[in-house]
Amino acid sequence: MTEVIGLALPGRVLIIANPVAGHGRTKKRLPAVRSALDEIGIPYDVVETEHRGHATEISRAAAANGYSVLAAMGGDGTLSEVVNGLMEASEGGREKPVKLAVIPSGTGNDFAVGSGLFATWEEAVRALLRPNVKYMDVFQFSDSAGLSRYVVNSVGVGYDAYVVKRVSELGSRKIGGLSYMYEALRGLFFFGPARLSLSFDDEPEVQYEKTWLCAITNSAIFGGGLKVNPGALTDDGRMNVAFLQGVPRRGLLPLILLVRSGKHVGKKGVVMRDASAIKLSAPDGFPCHVDGDTVDVRFPVTVRVLPGALPFVANGT
């Protein structure tokens, strides 16, 4: 099944599954998810994505077809596509936002964990029985050339985006986490920092010299488990920003190692902010990613918070 056809009965769940997420983990897990849903008596349909952007197409169509819940089964990339489809469907009040469930099953499940939703697919499926709805923020990202996207978890500019781009260009996702580790280490030698200009809300623009990384996040976690913004909340109407700047190349690795556990806060070279809107300028060609997807942008870019934009399924306890 490649598209949603006809109207769904009230109370029905549509699972949008990315079969290649998690290096095929989703495909292997899908029978267990089906069995669990059958056991607890939840009516559902399943659509497996077939190409990049397919989850956006499916969710945009499904929003008008009567489904009570759309469940994104995969990683952060799958979730991001579903969020974009739902947000596009609700633009201008065309469709009321459908409840969104997250069934973590990808290589990266940063939003599911960082937002406090679910760490496992079993928890997510059980929550569908008696769902508690939690409205969470979504970001809107745009550049100076007219590119516009919705963001569920993070925008990254600099070192982390460089790593994502390198892995994508080389097609080395096939060897899993080792590819990211290799490119991250390589970037310590070959990636160069730049001057970034940022303005937060209505504040004057400030220039930050020798900036290695700027992470704008909704949840506390990005980049495959890095606790880059430990205090971030997904329902506070704010985005959290962390950037590493003004440190020599030899100081970059120690800081990045601290980021994994969230112990970088307060260290020299680390700047932490929060805002409801950000405008960011960087040199042409400086790498950027949106929810882990490399994007070619024309700076400056703007990111703004859409408070409580989507209803997420949370634990019903």
The pLDDT, as a whole number, for residue 316 is: 62
Q: Which helix (H) or strand (E) holds 6?
A: none
Q: pTM for the complete prediction?
A: 0.91
The pLDDT, as a whole number, for residue 92 is: 59
Output DSSP code: residue 278. Answer: E
With beta carbons less than 8 A apart as the criterion, state whether 214 and 157 touch.
yes
141-148: long-range contacts, CB 8 A cutoff, minimum separation 24: 141/290, 141/301, 141/302, 141/303, 142/301, 142/302, 143/295, 143/297, 143/298, 143/299, 143/300, 143/301, 143/302, 144/297, 144/298, 144/299, 144/300, 144/301, 145/297, 145/298, 147/295, 147/297, 147/298
Q: Does domain 148-306 correspond to CATH entry 2.60.200.40?
A: yes
Per-residue pLDDT tens for 159-207?
Answer: 999 998 988 877 644 445 567 778 888 999 999 999 999 999 999 999 9
Output DSSP code: residue 40. Answer: H
- Averaged over 32-37, what is the pLDDT? 94
The pLDDT, as a whole number, for residue 129 is: 85
How far, in Å, CA of 135 to CA of 114, rounded? 15
Q: Do domains 13-129 and 148-306 have the same CATH topology?
A: no
pLDDT over 70 (residue 10): no
How far, in Å, CA of 243 to CA of 45, rounded? 42
pLDDT over 80 (residue 107): no
- Averaged over 4-9, what is the pLDDT? 47
Q: What pairing do the DSSP bridges indicate for beta strands 194-200 and 277-281?
A: antiparallel
The pLDDT, as a whole number, for residue 31 is: 93
| Topology given in CATH for the domain delimited by 13-129 | Rossmann fold (3.40.50)
The pLDDT, as a whole number, for residue 174 is: 47
- Residue ranges covered by each domain of the chain: 13-129, 148-306
